[in-house]
Structure 1
Amino acid sequence: MKEIGFAPVELTHAGANGPLRHLANVAVLHWHGEGFELPDGAELLATTAVANQAFAVGSRVLGLQFHAEADTSHEFEAWLIGHSAELAAAGIDPRQIRADAREHGPALREAGRAVFAEWLSQIAGPDTYA
């Protein structure tokens, strides 16, 4: 169940009304071969056709399967080199991911920063969901 490359996530109602809303219509970086079941008490925030992608437990716990933190302008080439065998085994051309990073990276960087800034500002206060 490898999911490697840039693609948007589908936000649930809860995801669209929280910090992840900044990722609406933004291609995020997926780079995983695993999935997860929702932990007890968690609320699903985002999915793809392949797997659950994000959840929250209250306002202080945020779990992400994708890489909203990816900065494709710095050190991204190291990901491609370091995972070249994994990419080859999955039949993924690193040239395509490199091109997609140039196309989607700036929007992802801006949206990812907005997600984490909002989430960090909300965890500084009382847990509104607990």
Structure 2
Amino acid sequence: MSDVLVIQNARLEGPGTIGDLLKADGFKIQTIFAKKEKIPKLNHAMVLVLGAPESANDDLKYLQNEIVLIQESVRAGVPVLGICLGSQLIAKALGARVYPGPKKEIGFYHDLIVEPKSKSHLFEGISSPFTVFHWHGDTFDIPDGAERLAYSDLYNQAFRYGSAVGVQFHLEVDRNIVRSWLENTTENINLPYIDPNKILSDIESEMPKIEKNMELFYKNFRSELGLTKV
């Protein structure tokens, strides 16, 4: 039996450093490639739903199945973490609107604000504003009954509803993941405010901040969501 179910929606978007942290803590991980593999019966300590270029609004059976899994997990009180598309699927599963944002965010950003009114400790120890890696164009409204945890000028960035946490940004990336996304993307990123060469040159200086924030967030997530092995 696995402790953590990872739903991978794109070949190049794996669990990255959060997978390493989970394994270091002794968690067993089951990874399902959602486009081709059936989602197993929920019997896990945690569900991790990863990103992809698709939209949560796309009429795709496997995305609909993920929404059902999220809803089942929330009802059962199983911790769920959604990253990028995963966060948008959580928002949609909870009845919130998902839609194109005002502009794409791609690269290292340093403008995420921890919601000062939040009672959550998920971002405890992380400076505000804090550094993340972005690669998204869609956004979401905060679901009814959910608590906003972080935001930026243009986007809601993180929220919690019961056992489910959605984060629009990527803290799980490592150096190789960022390079791979830039080298293999079929998306048009030739935009005036996006410089792939600068993103590449910033990797070495920015990645230690990302890694530190990931470690703190993961520690807080385990504590606040009561994540323990099956």
Larger Rg: 2
Indicate the TM-score class for this superposition, using the shorter chain for normalisation: 0.7 to 0.9
TM value normalised by structure 1: 0.81
Residue in 1 that maps onto 2:161: 57
Displacement of 1:85: 4.2
The Cα offsets for residues 60-93 of structure 1, whole Å up to 9 and x where unpaired, read as 2211001121222x332111112264222x3422
Provide the aligned C-alpha RMSD in A: 2.1
Residue in 2 that maps onto 1:116: 218
Task: Give the number of the structure whose residues are more often helix, by fraction.
Answer: 1
Cα separation, 2, equivalents of 1:86 and 1:22: 36
Residue in 1 that maps onto 2:206: 104
Higher relative contact order (CA 8 A, sep 6+): 1
Structure 1 spans left out of the alignment, 5+ residues: 126-130
Task: Give the number of the structure whose residues are more often strand, by fraction.
Answer: 2
Residue in 1 that maps onto 2:91: none
Residue 174 (structure 2) aligned to one of 50, 55, 71: 71
Distance 1:43 1:15, change over 3 A: same
Structure 2 spans left out of the alignment, 5+ residues: 1-102
Aligned-partner SS, 2:108: strand
Within-5 A mapping of 1:1-130: 1-8=103-110, 9-15=112-118, 18-24=121-127, 25-58=129-162, 60-72=163-175, 74-83=176-185, 85-88=187-190, 90-91=191-192, 92-124=194-226
Runs of 4+ displaced beyond 4 Å: 14-17
Counting aligned pairs with the same residue, the percent is: 31
The Cα offsets for residues 76-126 of structure 1, whole Å up to 9 and x where unpaired, read as 2111112264222x342211111222211111111112101220232227x
Distance 1:45 1:2, change over 3 A: same
